[in-house]
Amino acid sequence: MSQTFFGKVAVANLYIGMIATSPPPTTTRRPVSSEPATPHPPDPAALADALRRVWGYESFRPLQKEAMGRVLHGRDSVVVLPTGGGKSLCFQAPALCLHGMALVVSPLISLMKDQVDALRANGVEAACLNSALAPEERRRVGDQIRRGELKLLYIAPERLLSPGVLDGLARIRVSLVAIDEAHCISAWGHDFRPEYRELRVLRDRFPDVGVHAYTATATEAVRQDIAAQLGLRDPAILVGPFDRPNLRYTVQRSRNRFAQVCEVTDRHPGESGIVYCISRREVERMAAALSDRGLQARPYHAGLSDEERHRNQDAFIRDEARIIVATVAFGMGIDKPDVRYVVHAGLPKSLENFQQESGRAGRDGLPAECCLFWGGGDLFTWRRIIGRSEGDAQEGALRALQAMEAFATSVTCRHQALVEHFGQAWTRASCEACDVCLDTLDLVAEPLILGQKILSCVARLNQRFGADYTAKVLAGSREARILDAGHDQLSTYGLLGDDRPAAIRGWIEQLADQGFLARSDDEYKVLRITPEGRRLLKGEVAPRLLQPPRRGARRPRAASDADAMEGVDPGLFEHLRALRAREAAARNVPAYVVFGDAALLDMARRRPTSPDAFLRVHGVGERKVQDFSDLFTGAIREYCQDHGIETDEEPAPRGEPRPVPMTAPQAFPYFREGRSVEEVAGRLGRAVSTTRGYLDHFIRHERVTDPSPWVDAATVTRIERACEEVGADRLSPIREFLGDETDYNLIRIVASCWRNRRGGP
């Protein structure tokens, strides 16, 4: 074997020498889905065809088409799309439409493996090169590269920059260069990695190939820095919408973090979630406590061995562990789409971190929950850590922490705050997906008066005491130190005697967080009134103060959207989930590589029983039909026969009326007589779940306005009142407004009748 490809290189790299020194074979095996669709330059229509054939998607997500167009035309680009926005497809789909092999630089071995597994499951020839591969596997990949079989090669930056590798890759046909997690390039980013700086060489080594940088979180300064550091030529800077409307944000002051975390996990039994903590010690404690509670939780932080970190991460990805408790060392590029909740049990150090970490929830587009539980001690911890850095880095980190603190203490829409932080305009009146917009925050009725009382007490104490002491004076405590100091004689003593000291302490913290009070830097943390606080005392500005959490008070519910379950048979969905788990275990891949939850929901909605019908399921491409159609359609057919459920439904596009099944009109005469769903199901020999669907069609088709035959009067009144307040276009806000366990089926009936009375769709 010749070594001219590398020069003097380590034996570990010799496998790739075959790429340059061996003649191409007379015949080349290529997968059908990887064959270039058209000669270069390709027809943009080939992209839509690739999306449909390979991934089973009928349309582009926001900005994808524009980003893919830049790749097809070989123009450099920086693409910023939020986590779950479909960044990977921006280079994967064009790679199938171009001649040659796409080179993808990725920082994490686990991310490479996940993406390669998913591509192979869709029939795309892809491979990765990293230090985890055995020598025989590296040789196999080298053979694939030499024979021109690969459409995408994932490679770590360290491996790419090792001696000789770039020389070898420069001698084959590279179709495009994609750099994933590109924020690592910028020192202004939140996860700077020095080795990424060296990737500038790619622009010089591949002068005729487009170089494209992709990231989920990058401010304007970071975007420009990425382009400059990579030496991109007149790059297109494409920034997609940062909003993630399927995520529901809740921010609370920490009272008992473990109890608050458990409230979230209890809302998501059996579902995947991530819990972030600031320190390794907190990670270990939280993971152990959750495990003691009977939950499948694993820790992840930089203090663990590589083997243990990889083992725990793999267990999470493969659903062997439902919860991963981690520091920020976990998660960059994690490609698990079915994370239903992310909890920050401590304040992140920046909004960039929060956006990316919380964005790991709901990557499949289904509803997910993001909770932040934080306290003043978190700020102290981060300031201490930041204090170890110097110069501009320290100044930038402190500014980022202040922005994070402002977000946590604000009563502005959480979605709006995040979108505007990244420089985009917010145009909606309400997101309907955060604690602020859903009115789960309990605000003080007269915050100005309350703030003036607290600041007056600080002034009467001559600004010489801390928050605890001030709160006790306001509460009218009879502690000896207060009486000995004569502070029971102050005009502000006992001024808030009806409130608990803990509640008053919380208000003091909120006033400090909003800049009306400051604390001394010494160990006593003495309160001082700021210039903004003096404006408050004059009544020129007002604070925003939250009521303290009440015992037994209603907590925000998990993010849920009844629209996502529209037409879905829940039992069939769970049946398909179990089938998916067995098949994934047999293939030794994560469950989502077989199918994501969104695909299973669409199967349980459409209930296909033929390969053609199976191909119409969202997220099912041609290869998935070949591999799974018989198995899944057989299971669907058997389940539906056992439960008397209609098969091969064809849902209408969102916003359009669903077609009435051929058998549904058989139920209409019974519903006209006012018979119950259960009674009609018995007469027709249909499942109750199927008959509920018939009733829904009946109400829409007949424009029924009176729900009383199927819903009791008291429930009708309550649901209609909710419709008046929050509208009836979506069901989840109605249920949130009601604040109880009202059945979604009842809500759907009443809301449909309510819309009919008002002439709605």
Give 398-430 as a DSSP string: HHHHHHHHHHHH--S-HHHHHHHHTT-----S-
The dihedral over CA atoms of 488, 492, 494, 499, expressed in degrees to the nearest 10, equals: -150
Angstrom CA distances, 443 to 21, 389, 547, 548, 568, stand at 72, 38, 5, 9, 38
Which 3 state secondary structure label does DSSP give 185?
helix
Strands 297-300 and 272-276: unpaired
Burial (0-12, 13-18, 19+ Cβ within 10 Å), 75: middle
Closest C-alpha among 93, 56, 35 to residue 625: 56
- Two structure tokens written together for 538: 């004059």
| pTM listed for this prediction | 0.66
The dihedral over CA atoms of 631, 637, 643, 646, expressed in degrees to the nearest 10, equals: 140
Which 3 state secondary structure label does DSSP give 177?
strand
Question: What whole-number distance in Å separates Cα of residue 5 and Cα of residue 16?
Answer: 8
Bridge partners (DSSP) of residue 325 are 275, 299
Decide if 263 contacts 313 (C-beta within 8 A).
Answer: no
Which 3 state secondary structure label does DSSP give 344?
strand
pLDDT of residue 363: 87
Angle at CA 466, nearest 5°, toward 461 and 467?
A: 105
Angle at CA 195, nearest 5°, toward 193 and 196?
A: 70
Three-state SS for 1-53 is CCCCCCCCCCHHHHHHHHHHHCCCCCCCCCCHHHCCCCCCCCCCHHHHHHHHH
Question: What whole-number distance in Å separates Cα of residue 472 and Cα of residue 251?
Answer: 26
- Other C-beta atoms lying within 10 Å of the C-beta of residue 509: 18
Question: What whole-number distance in Å separates Cα of residue 57 and Cα of residue 616?
Answer: 9
pLDDT of residue 563: 54
Q: At what angle do helices 622-643 and 109-121 cross, to 10 degrees?
A: 70
Amino acid at 3: Q
Q: Which residues of 260-293 are buried (b: 16+ CB within 10 A; e: fewer)?
A: bbebbbebbeebbbbbbbbebebbbbbbeebbee
Closest C-alpha among 115, 103, 80 to residue 199: 103
> In sequence order, which residues have a C-beta less than 8 Å from that of residue 755 and are 6 or more positions away?
728, 761
- Two structure tokens written together for 246: 């399927």
pLDDT of residue 369: 94
Q: How far is CA 702 from the centre of its chain?
A: 40
pLDDT of residue 39: 40
Question: What whole-number distance in Å separates Cα of residue 761 and Cα of residue 146?
Answer: 59
Angle at CA 124, nearest 5°, toward 122 and 127?
A: 120
DSSP single-letter state for residue 180? S
- Other C-beta atoms lying within 10 Å of the C-beta of residue 674: 11
> Helix H segments across 350-500?
351-358, 376-386, 391-409, 414-421, 447-460, 467-475, 480-484
Burial (0-12, 13-18, 19+ Cβ within 10 Å), 311: middle
Helix, strand, coil proportions of the chain in percent (round to 5)?
50, 10, 40
Element (H, E) at 154: strand 152-155
pLDDT of residue 326: 92
Domains of the chain (ranges; CATH) run 11-239 (3.40.50.300), 247-421 (3.40.50.300), 447-537 (1.10.10.10), 562-643 (1.10.150.80), 664-757 (no CATH)
The answer to whether the Cα torsion of 659, 661, 666, 670 is positive or negative is negative
Q: Which residues of 230-243 are buried (b: 16+ CB within 10 A; e: fewer)?
A: bebeebbbbbbebb
Burial (0-12, 13-18, 19+ Cβ within 10 Å), 384: exposed
Average pLDDT of adjacent 10-residue blocks, the chain of 761 residues: 34 40 38 38 77 89 89 92 84 94 87 87 91 84 89 90 83 92 72 75 90 85 89 91 90 89 91 93 95 93 87 89 84 74 94 88 90 89 83 80 86 88 83 83 87 96 94 95 95 93 86 87 86 95 78 42 66 90 90 90 91 90 92 92 80 51 77 91 77 83 90 92 80 74 83 82 55
Closest C-alpha among 81, 94, 84 to residue 124: 94
Amino acid at 493: Y
